[in-house]
Amino acid sequence: MAQSSKNVILITGARGGLGTAATVGLAHLGDCLALLSQGWSEIKEQTEELESSGKCVLGFGIDLTSASLVATAVDRIVEEAGIPTVVMHCASAVGPIAPLHLAKHSEWDQAVSSNVTGSFNIIREVIGRMITNNGGTIITVATEFARTPHASWSAYCASKAALLMLTGCIDAEYRSENISAYSILPGKSDTDMRVARGHQVSPKGQSPEYAADVVKVAAWLATDSPEEYLGGVVDVDCPQVRKQAGL
């Protein structure tokens, strides 16, 4: 496969609070943006606004749990824009909020499929191409729920913990191929869990100021590839991280 001379930034969950912030905050790193969301209607306006400003942008409304749909989307991204050099994987699902014995099978399956299989699908399709293109950066989004058990949140806790391990495995398998994998812990940023709990937060569950901090850290990771955090969690609230990222 021929190497790509363009920098392509691929963002999943592009319509969420963090995904929207990533679209704005990472645009300067790439020649083209590839935006993925659950439905095309969710990102249609966002895509058209970017196009009208002269930015190269591709938008896709797809279900990341469908391996065939993800493969088709990535094929088109590569054909029309180039091989992604940065993946900011913001998409996630909360799942059933209930004691384990009361959780619905369908809701549990959806959370695990979205947070684990969906992540696998997009990363699998991109990472082989990154290797042929001298590497790249993969950034997943962590949560403190992945490290601390919470009653009634078993599906979310378990599936997001699996995503942390997946990020570590990417590093173990592909660091030698110049693939940099990180998992960002948003820290104080408002999350979908707070929305589910009934807290008053900004649309899509992400406060703009903290979402912007997360994206600034992501931009730093994509630009500098700090070795000390490879395969691990990068806490946005950590003073050292904030200083290194210029916050």
The candidate with the shortest Cα–Cα distance to 113, out of 163, 181, 61, 164, is: 163
DSSP state of 3: P
Q: Which segments of the chain are extended strands (E)?
A: 8-12, 32-37, 56-61, 84-89, 136-141, 179-185, 233-235
**Separation between Cα atoms, residue 147 and residue 40, nearest integer Å:** 33
**Contact 158/221 with Cβ under 8 angstroms?**
no
Domain residue limits, the chain: 8-244
CATH of 8-244, one of 2.40.50.140, 3.40.50.150, 1.20.120.1200, 3.40.50.720: 3.40.50.720
Cα 21 to Cα 80, 158, 188, 215: the distances in Å are: 24, 26, 16, 7
**Could you list the pLDDT tens digit for every one of the 247 residues in the chain?**
555 567 999 999 888 788 888 888 898 888 899 999 887 777 787 888 888 888 889 989 999 999 999 999 999 999 999 999 999 999 888 889 999 999 999 999 999 999 999 999 999 999 999 999 999 999 999 988 999 899 999 999 999 999 999 999 999 999 999 999 999 998 654 444 454 554 443 333 445 567 889 999 999 999 999 999 999 999 999 999 999 999 8
